[in-house]
Amino acid sequence: MPEKISIQLGDVQRTLLIPLFGRAKEFEKEHPLIKDKYAHEIVGKLDYDFKAGFEKMPMQFLINTAIRAYHLDTALLKVMAEHPDATIISIGSGLDTTFQRIDNGKIFWYDLDLPDSMELRRKLIPKALGINSSQNPCSTGVGLRTSRRGAQRCFLYRAAFSFI
């Protein structure tokens, strides 16, 4: 059995475990809203007691993370239907696996987060196109802009003020 990976994150960065665990728990359901096998695999690789870490958290909070992932996937798939070679920049990525779930083989994807989050991400998630960032994300939403070359860019803002 492979050795578990320990978590060395700051308090704010540790919140990346919440949506990860929510998607992993959803995957275990008989009829999941979102099938995120990657989240389930990552949870199994971590040296972290998720049960103790989230025992006081309302179950609905974890369910909401899966609902949010479903809606973000749906929105991005719509963008990709119109712009299959879009550049998507995911700000505050944490251990998000959206790229692994929706990649069409043509999108250009960047994951941005704090350095310790990106270090853990590189250990656990197959590389998309990761970029280190020391900037803290500051809003939630999806926005689309046109670059100078005419290609579409989609900015996906993840964890922000809700956990800070």
d(Cα 112, Cα 133) in Å, to the nearest integer?
Answer: 6
Number of domains in the chain: 1
Tokens linked to 32: 């999941």
Q: How confident is the model at residue 57 (pLDDT cuts 50, 70, 90)?
A: confident
Task: Give 105-129 pLDDT, tens digit per residue.
Answer: 888 888 888 888 888 988 888 664 4
What global pTM score does this model have? 0.79
| Cβ atoms 61, 18 nearer than 8 A | yes
Q: How confident is the model at residue 86 (pLDDT cuts 50, 70, 90)?
A: confident
The verdict on residue 108 lying in a domain is: yes
The verdict on residue 91 lying in a domain is: yes
The verdict on residue 2 lying in a domain is: no
pLDDT of residue 156: 59
Q: How confident is the model at residue 138 (pLDDT cuts 50, 70, 90)?
A: very low
The verdict on residue 164 lying in a domain is: no
Pairing type for strands 87-91 and 152-157 reads parallel
| DSSP SS3 for 51 | helix
Q: In this structure, what is the dihedral angle of CA atoms 63, 65, 71, 74, given to the nearest 10 degrees? A: -100
Q: How confident is the model at residue 142 (pLDDT cuts 50, 70, 90)?
A: very low
Q: Looking at residue 56, what DSSP letter applies?
A: T
d(Cα 123, Cα 117) in Å, to the nearest integer?
Answer: 10
Task: Give 62-80 pLDDT, tens digit per residue.
Answer: 899 999 999 999 999 998 8
Q: How confident is the model at residue 155 (pLDDT cuts 50, 70, 90)?
A: low
In CATH, what number is assigned to the domain containing residue 80? 3.40.50.150
pLDDT of residue 46: 95
d(Cα 161, Cα 71) in Å, to the nearest integer?
Answer: 19
Enclosing domain of residue 153 = 13-157
pLDDT of residue 92: 84
